[in-house]
């Protein structure tokens, strides 16, 4: 991820989080310092065997392997760090050198996904683990350290520290994921293919920008080699088919609370495209587990003149499709 793209995503995340009620986490000096650091050349990974080191801020975004150390200079009561990797990676987090007072109300919690204003990505409908298993609480752990591994390319850490000179070190490592599912895009433009091989699972590709989506290939209901292909069926809605693709738009990160824009439950090899003028645009692949499902798509950021016109007292202020 380039420095410019990382800065753009961080700016957008601050904007999105402020609209979604996370502004209480943002302290002016911490946020501005964090933003300027994104432009530093020191942020680049210089070699495969080099582990980057830098301080961790009360509000931060991490897109690089490394060691990140937080040391409180004053009470920090509502801090969060968002971690993001490439679409085909998952994230390993490990705490060390922890010096906090759990009995005084300090805490460090790692989360498998992202949280904004109580909305979670991936949603509970799309994640394979129950919600309580997605949290790793250092203060509830019997081990001297705590580790967590994400199920997708995003993870998060929350922490509260009351006493100056208290802190911890967070180690971030990214690992290859052969079958990516539930992805948060780092970039407002690109292309991707989601494949779900014989698993009953829902996978979302989330783009936290208003974009034009172009579906270039969709293969649904491809039977296993020892099965006959299913007969073409007509459904009153695609949800009845068990295998389909949804296009969603909204201003949060929980796909279960987003607006359904379109759904497709038949294979296509042509081009289908749609503009979604929302803070978050999502391609969601729903699979019954009986077949190999595949969807390929391209996306690009909408130009300013393509964004919806503002109309007062209307959801169209933020989210329209065409």
pLDDT tens-digit series, residues 107-116: 999 999 999 8
Region 74-102 average pLDDT: 96
pLDDT beyond 70 at 44: no
Tell me the C-alpha distance between 187 and 208, whole Å: 9
Pick the range with the lowest mean pLDDT from 62-71, 139-148, 158-167, 306-315.
Answer: 306-315
Query: Which letter does DSSP use for residue 268 in this model?
Result: B
Say what the pLDDT of residue 315 is.
43
Q: Residue 198 corresponds to which tokens in the numbers above?
A: 């014989």
Tell me the C-alpha distance between 81 and 159, whole Å: 9
Pick the range with the lowest mean pLDDT from 49-58, 233-242, 264-273.
Answer: 233-242
Kindly write down the DSSP assignment for every residue of 155-212, as one continuous string: EEEEEEE-STT-EEEEEEEEEE-SS--SEE-SSSSEEEEEEEES---EEEEEESS-EE
pLDDT beyond 50 at 313: no
Where residue 306 falls among pLDDT bands split at 50, 70, 90? confident
Topology of the domain comprising 185-223+241-301: Jelly Rolls (2.60.120)
Start-end of CATH 2.60.120.290 domains in the chain:
53-176, 185-223+241-301
- Measured CA to CA in angstroms, residue 304 lies from 166, 251, 315 at distances of 45, 18, 18
Instruction: Judge whether 114 and 83 are in contact, CB under 8 Å.
Output: no
Q: Is the dihedral of CA 22, 23, 29, 31 positive or negative?
A: positive
Please provide the CATH number assigned to the domain covering 53-176: 2.60.120.290
């Amino acid at each position: 991820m380039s420095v410019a793209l990382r800065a753009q995503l961080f700016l957008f995340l601050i904007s999105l989080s402020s609209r979604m009620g996370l502004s209480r986490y943002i302290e002016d000096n911490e946020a501005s310092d964090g933003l300027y650091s994104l432009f530093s050349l020191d942020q680049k990974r210089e070699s495969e065997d080099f582990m980057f080191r830098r301080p961790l801020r009360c509000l931060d975004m991490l897109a690089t392997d490394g060691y990140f150390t937080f040391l409180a200079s004053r009470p920090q009561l509502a801090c969060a760090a968002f971690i993001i990797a490439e679409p085909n990676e998952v994230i390993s987090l490990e705490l060390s050198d922890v010096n906090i007072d759990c009995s005084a109300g300090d805490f460090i919690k790692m989360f498998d996904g992202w949280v904004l204003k109580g909305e979670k990505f991936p949603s509970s409908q799309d994640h394979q683990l129950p919600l309580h298993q997605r949290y790793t609480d250092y203060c509830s752990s019997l081990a001297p350290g705590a580790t967590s591994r994400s199920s997708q390319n995003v993870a998060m850490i929350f922490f509260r520290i009351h006493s100056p000179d208290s802190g911890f070190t967070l180690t971030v490592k990214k690992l290859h994921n052969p079958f990516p599912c539930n992805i948060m895009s780092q970039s407002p433009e690109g292309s991707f293919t989601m494949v779900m091989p014989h698993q009953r699972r829902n996978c979302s590709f989330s783009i936290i920008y208003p974009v034009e989506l172009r579906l270039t290939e969709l293969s649904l209901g491809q039977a296993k080699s020892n099965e006959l292909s299913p007969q073409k069926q007509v459904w009153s809605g695609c949800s009845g088919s068990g295998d389909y693709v949804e296009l969603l738009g909204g201003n949060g990160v929980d796909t279960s609370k987003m607006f359904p824009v379109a759904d497709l439950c038949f294979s296509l090899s042509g081009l289908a495209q749609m503009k979604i003028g929302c803070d978050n645009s999502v391609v969601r692949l729903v699979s019954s587990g009986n077949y190999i499902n595949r969807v390929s798509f391209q996306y690009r950021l909408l130009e300013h003149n393509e964004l919806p016109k503002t109309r007062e007292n209307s959801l169209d202020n933020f989210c329209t499709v065409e």
